[in-house]
Amino acid sequence: MTFSTVTFSGNAPHELDPFYVLAPQGAVAQGPVPTFPHDHVVRAVPTANAGTYTTRLQGFFVFCTEQGLVSGACTPEWLNAGGGLAPFADSVDGQALTSSDAIESAAADGDVALVNLGPAAVIVGAISQSN
């Protein structure tokens, strides 16, 4: 993903795709290390345009909920994104959270919370399918 310097002027939430920020899902984090190692998950890349498109995204932190922690369903990685340690979701029921479907299913079950980061986290990005 390449982030654009273009600003977003829309205001309707239905115009935005989710951009999930969660604990690293592999050995190498996508986000900056060591300040705040994290990964990003977006919806599947459409196959049109050879798998490359530009979209407007709304940032969400993906945290383990109290229910997910107490039940053991959600495994957290305690990370500091600038406001103290928080339980960023690493896995749910032993499964990595590498797709928006997995994240949204875990949210529907109450094991993770999707925390909308508000207008400051609306970004424009170019997404390319990696081979």
Q: At which residue do the structure tokens 């932190």 appear?
A: 61
Q: Give the C-alpha separation, 117 to 59, whole Å.
A: 6
The answer to whether residue 25 is domain-embedded is yes
Q: How confident is the model at residue 33 (pLDDT cuts 50, 70, 90)?
A: confident
Helices marked H in 1-131: 66-71, 100-108
Region 55-59: what's the mean pLDDT?
Answer: 81
Does 38 reside within a domain?
yes
Residue 8 belongs to some domain of the structure: no
**Highest mean pLDDT: which of 9-23, 52-66, 100-114?**
100-114
- The residue ranking higher by pLDDT, 25 or 15, is 25
Total count of domains within the chain: 1
pTM: 0.81
Could you tell me if residue 7 is inside a domain?
no
